[in-house]
Amino acid sequence: MNKSIHILIPIRPVPMSTKIIRMANGRPKVMKSTKSLVWQNQAKPFINKAFAGKDIIDEPVGIEIFYYFAPPKSWPKEKKRLALAGKIRPTSKTTQGDVDNLTKGFLDSLVAGGHLKDDSLVVSLFAAKYYAPEERTEAKVVGEES
């Protein structure tokens, strides 16, 4: 891979949550949460667009991912201003999710979409959460020397 791939997913990032166990035909069945599946389905066309005309990645890559969330509506204007200026960062597990769970969902989407052969090919990773007026995920995939 000799060029970087930029991905923009203009929807609220959703963490890959813990799997759910449900009974099916009297047996336990492990399933992904509905929110995670919905996000992956909504993100799919944006990921496909970024990878249009490109082969599946089957060599080591580095990925930078930025997750953007809207500040809570209940916050006062000054606190929102500070958040949008980068002075306050998203840290809530319950409303934004842990950065590792957000990243797991993103990487799973790349693999499930047939764009990344396996997430073990990611040899360097940077991920960060910020507040912004528009919720989205932005990522850059770059080739790494092996």
CATH number at residue 56: 3.30.1330.70
Number of domains the chain contains: 1
Q: Which residues contact 20 (CB under 8 A, 6 or more apart)?
A: 30, 31, 32, 33
0.85 exceeded by the pTM? Answer: yes
pLDDT in tens, 37-91: 899 999 999 999 999 999 999 999 999 999 999 999 999 999 999 999 999 999 8
- In this prediction, residue 94 has a pLDDT band, given cuts at 50, 70 and 90, of low
Q: How far is CA 66 from CA 32, 54, 55, 127, 146, in A?
A: 23, 22, 24, 6, 25
Domain range enclosing 102: 5-143
